[in-house]
Amino acid sequence: MEESTKLVDESTEALWYVVHTYSGYENKVANDLQTMVENRHLQDLICDIKVPVEMVPEIDKNGKQKMVEHKLFPGYVLVKMVMNDDTWYVVRNTRGCTGFVGPASKPVPLTAEEVEKMGVEKAAPLSVDFAVGDTVQITAGPLEGFMGLVEAIDTENFKVKLKVNMFGRETPAEVEIGQVELP
């Protein structure tokens, strides 16, 4: 039996791959790769490039709290791409990139569960059975059992902004869409 000499298994589906970079070069690699994709007209093959970050509160030297961006996976860039020899070559030869994550640098795509857990892609927006102006009951979380007036619905981030009557006062609250229902 003849062993395959191809570096990658070619597929027509765009999947998420993890690219290893020099530490501190994540944004530079992402920007350089994006420029290369545009210059070579590869937008249909390399669909998305992300450096996952989160905002974290930090105290500065004056004692004031400010929000600072922290990389969730230092030294890594996530790339959604159709894997073939050409796209592999473009990504692999981007300055600052040291290779794909996988055995013997053979790219292995992230599973759907990994993509979801890492929060790389948002799930499709929900449809809800209540609207702005409706009164809903909070069914979970610290405000469980309270009623609230819906002020805004953010289906992309799965949040609902409410006015909750607590101790005789209207209090603004934001909860997950799954934590409220019509009474």
pLDDT digits (tens, 9 = 90+) for 103-115: 886 899 998 888 8
For domain 134-181, give the fold: SH3 type barrels. (2.30.30)
pLDDT digits (tens, 9 = 90+) for 110-157: 988 888 778 777 655 566 788 899 999 988 888 889 999 999 988 777
The residues with which 150 forms a beta bridge, in sequence order, are 162
What's the CA gap between 43 and 18, in Å, rounded? 18
Token readout for 67 is 């929000």
Q: Domain locations in the chain?
A: 15-118, 134-181
Burial state string for 74-104 with b = 16 or more CB within 10 A and e = fewer than 16: eebbbbbbbbbeebbebbbebebbeebeeee
Predicted confidence band of residue 3 (pLDDT cuts 50, 70, 90): very low
| pTM over the 0.95 mark | no
Lowest mean pLDDT among 14-18, 67-71, 156-160: 156-160
What does the mean pLDDT of the chain come to? 85
Q: Where are the alpha helices (DSSP H) in 57-170?
A: 85-92, 112-118
Lowest mean pLDDT among 44-48, 58-62, 75-79: 58-62
Examine the pLDDT at 166 and tell me if it is beyond 90: no
What pLDDT does residue 8 have?
53
Q: Exposure of 24 by Cβ count < 10 A (0-12 exposed, 13-18 middle, 19+ buried)?
A: exposed
Measured in degrees and rounded to the nearest 5, phi and psi for residue 9 equal -90, 115
* Count of C-beta atoms within a 10 Å radius of residue 179: 18
What dihedral angle (degrees, nearest 10) is formed by the CA atoms of 25, 30, 34, 36? 40
Identify the architecture of domain 15-118 in CATH.
2-Layer Sandwich (3.30)
